[in-house]
């Protein structure tokens, strides 16, 4: 079943939406030709009612410029470069991530006003590439766009303790204590999604 959330009314919101779509298209062509991030298709596909983003690495739902976890240099390596466009790879050299015109919070903001749940695991279990705090900061950074379109933001600016579910807004976040998986966060996601979707649990 198709699920639609109407954007905030008014000419300003319409202009913002048009600008957002143009930005999404330009970003797609420049950085995400393989659509690596799950959050990326949402702005393009109206049949996607909600996002469940699991354990993003670099170029997903985390801050690209943050010096922690997987870095631009990692996804530009010989084992991972095929995920990204050439325009992105140049930010591993000669340019740097600080030269990027966009970042992870803007990718999440493109999903607005549709709800997005961002899931992460533990660095102690998953290894040093994961950056749950970077995902959290990106979720915080996307908040003003959600508010502009009439939705609640994440509702927090301080990184929460592990296993804390922030699910009261249209952007949600939870870091579980497990590995590279979404399973431990499904219960929190379903509670979050139940506000937006009619879920059949039988």
Q: Quote the number of domains for the chain.
A: 1
> What are the residues whose beta carbons fall under 8 Å from the beta carbon of 62, sequence distance 6 or more?
56, 69, 104, 131, 134, 135, 137, 138
Give the structural domain span for 41: 11-193
Question: Considering the domain boundaries, does residue 167 fall inside one?
Answer: yes
Q: How many CB atoms lie within 10 A of CB 43?
A: 22
Question: Considering the domain boundaries, does residue 199 fall inside one?
Answer: no
Q: pTM for the whole thing?
A: 0.78
Question: Considering the domain boundaries, does residue 111 fall inside one?
Answer: yes
Question: Considering the domain boundaries, does residue 3 fall inside one?
Answer: no
Condensed to tens digits (0 to 9), the pLDDT of residues 116-174 reads: 999 988 888 876 777 889 999 999 999 999 999 999 999 999 999 999 999 999 999 99
Condensed to tens digits (0 to 9), the pLDDT of residues 23-72 reads: 444 444 444 444 445 556 787 777 888 888 887 777 678 888 888 877 88
């Amino acid at each position: 079943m198709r699920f639609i959330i109407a954007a905030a009314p008014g000419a300003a919101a319409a202009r913002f939406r048009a600008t957002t779509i143009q930005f999404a298209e330009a970003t797609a062509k420049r950085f995400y030709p393989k659509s690596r991030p799950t959050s990326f298709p949402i702005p393009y596909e109206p049949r996607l009612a909600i996002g469940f983003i699991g354990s993003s690495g670099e170029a997903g739902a985390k801050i690209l410029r943050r010096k922690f976890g997987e870095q631009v240099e990692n996804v530009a390596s010989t084992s991972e470069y095929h995920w990204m466009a050439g325009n992105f790879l140049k930010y591993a050299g000669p340019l740097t991530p600080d030269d990027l015109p966009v970042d992870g919070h803007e990718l999440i903001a493109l999903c607005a006003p549709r709800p997005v749940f961002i899931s992460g695991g533990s660095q102690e279990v998953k290894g040093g590439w994961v950056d749950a705090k970077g995902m959290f900061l990106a979720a915080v950074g996307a908040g003003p766009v959600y508010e502009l379109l009439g939705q609640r933001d994440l509702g927090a600016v301080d990184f929460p303790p592990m296993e804390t579910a922030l699910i009261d807004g249209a952007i949600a976040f939870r870091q579980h204590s497990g590995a590279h998986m979404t399973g431990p966060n499904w219960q929190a996601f379903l509670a979050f999604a139940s506000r937006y979707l009619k879920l059949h649990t039988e």
